[in-house]
Amino acid sequence: MRLGQPRVRACVRSIQPYQPGKPVEEVERELGIRGAVKLASNENPLGPAPLVIQALKQAAGLAGVYPDAGCYYLRQALGQHLKLRAEEIIIGNGSDELLVLLGLALLEPGDEVLTSQMSFVVYYSVPRLMNAKLIAVPMRNYQIDLEAMARALTRKTRIIFIANPNNPTGTVVAPGSLRKFIEKVPGKCLVVLDEAYYEYADSRIMGQTPDLVRERKNVVVLRTFSKAYGLAGLRIGYGVAPKIIVDAIERVREPFNVNHLAQIGARAALKARGHMRQSVELARAERSRMGKALAGMGFKTVPSQTNFIFAQAPIRDSQKFSVDLMREGIIIRPFAGSHVRITMGTRVQNDKMIRAVKRVLGNYIN
């Protein structure tokens, strides 16, 4: 008998696996360096609030039982926080999971998913997973081009993913143009406003998007505890959604998708408002300081509303540049051509990054 092998769906084979970076410890070991600084994944350099760490320590004993499958207390807390009803809130194992669950719940083969080029990587894998068609509209000057997206709407468009602020460019769309765009979208097409970096942005620019969820019924707003709340390692994100979507997510999600510690950590994080504010103030101050420092070294920086800076570096090959920086103990994220994305660390980490960039650029010139 000939041995066969399991057949993986063609659409799954078309998905590029996520390329995990090496653990920092491994990079240090391989390069024989110490104290490497990772500025590549838009994490919060302050980490979780002390109140969160305390709550997590106290909750460690709960690891033996299944978590609350309904995230009851966290939904209540988020409801209060957002001045919404708990029933309007969805919670996932990171907002990543919510993006996938929305695809699972809504997409039929051949449906279209509309998004922007140069945006968050999961928007490109969700349609592939569901055998749907990805339409990614070019950006305009590093901004999501809502007018072009409106022109790309068809009868088959089922989901629109908009990262606002956008990752990796750090730019935002103005609330007026967002509202105008949403008004053009037919009711049967879901607009997903992914606000993973909401807290870092100027609130006057961001507006009150959960209001749009109530008004339009075809809008979902996603946020996360991974960034300004410093809980990336716990994996927890949430969304505000109309009833039909809340109901659909309940059907497709795994029952215990959000673990105990994530639920407890997130509740404590909502109480630790001072820590969140401090994290946001640090990122805002550093993106302005680092923006100037990088521009002074010939980088063309894109104005950012997030905890990172996207820029065109004064080099030809961002891959080589990032490897050279890694040898100096600085890990950043290279993008196409000479583009790079640098997460804002602490003042000390960022100063180290600037010194390393200077040294690497100096070697290029010499």
Ligand X SMILES: Cc1ncc(COP(=O)(O)O)c(C=O)c1O
- Alpha helices, DSSP H, located in 107-145: 122-129
Q: Is the peptide bond before 23 cis (omega within 30 degrees of 0)?
A: no
Joined tokens for residue 177: 């143009």
Q: Which of 88, 145, 194, 199 binds ligand X (CB under 6 A)?
A: 194
Report the residue from 77, 120, 150, 169 that binds ligand X according to the rule CB under 6 A.
Answer: 120
Q: Rule CB under 6 A: say whether 196 interacts with ligand X.
A: yes
* Count of positions on this chain that bind ligand X (CB under 6 A): 13
Residue 351's identity, in one-letter code, is D
Grouping H, G, I as helix, E, B as strand and the rest as coil, residue 212 is: helix
Near ligand X by CB under 6 A, which window of 93-101, 152-160, 203-211, 268-276? 93-101
For ligand X, the binding residues in 209-268 under the rule CB under 6 A are 224, 226, 232, 237
Residue 192 within binding range of ligand X, rule CB under 6 A: no
Q: 42 or 350, CB closer to ligand X?
A: 42
Min dist CB 92 to ligand X, Å, is 8
CB atoms within 10 A of CB 22: 12
Shortest CB 40 distance to ligand X, Å: 11
Q: Hey, which residues between 132 and 161 contact ligand X (CB under 6 A)?
A: none
Residue 144 or 356: the one with the smaller Cβ distance to ligand X is 144
Exactly one of 95, 116, 209, 343 binds ligand X (CB under 6 A); which one?
95
Cβ proximity of 36 and 329 under 8 Å: yes
Kindly tell me which of 95 and 263 has the beta carbon lying closer to ligand X: 95
What is the rounded CA–CA span in Å between residue 138 and residue 160?
14
| 71 is a site residue for ligand X (CB under 6 A) | no
> Considering beta carbons, is residue 128 or 223 the nearer one to ligand X?
223
Measure the CA–CA gap between 57 and 37, rounded to whole angstroms: 26
Q: Interface with ligand X includes 164 (CB under 6 A)?
A: no
Residue whose C-alpha is closest to residue 232's, from 270, 257, 262: 262
The answer to whether the beta carbons of residues 238 and 78 sit under 8 Å apart is yes
Closest CA to 273 of 77, 71, 89, 11: 77
Residue among 42, 318, 338, 349 that touches ligand X (CB under 6 A): 42
Show Cβ contacts of residue 362 under 8 Å, excluding neighbours closer than 6 positions. Answer: none
CB 128 within 8 A of CB 11: yes
Show the binding pattern over residues 96-115: x = contacts ligand X (CB under 6 A), - = does not: x-------------------
* Three-state SS at 234: helix
Segment interacting with ligand X, rule: CB under 6 A, options 59-67, 92-100, 124-132, 343-351: 92-100
Out of 71, 100, 163, 326, the residue judged to bind ligand X by CB under 6 A:
163
Closer to ligand X by Cβ: residue 158 or 333: 333
In which element (H, E) is residue 142 found?
Answer: none
299 binds ligand X (CB under 6 A): no
Which CB, 96 or 324, lies closer to ligand X?
A: 96
User: Which SS3 state, helix, strand or coil, does residue 301 take?
Assistant: strand
Q: Which residue is nearest to ligand X (CB)?
A: 94
140 DSSP β-pair partners: 143
Amino acid letter, 335? F
Contact set with ligand X (CB under 6 A)? 42, 94-96, 120, 163, 167, 194, 196, 224, 226, 232, 237
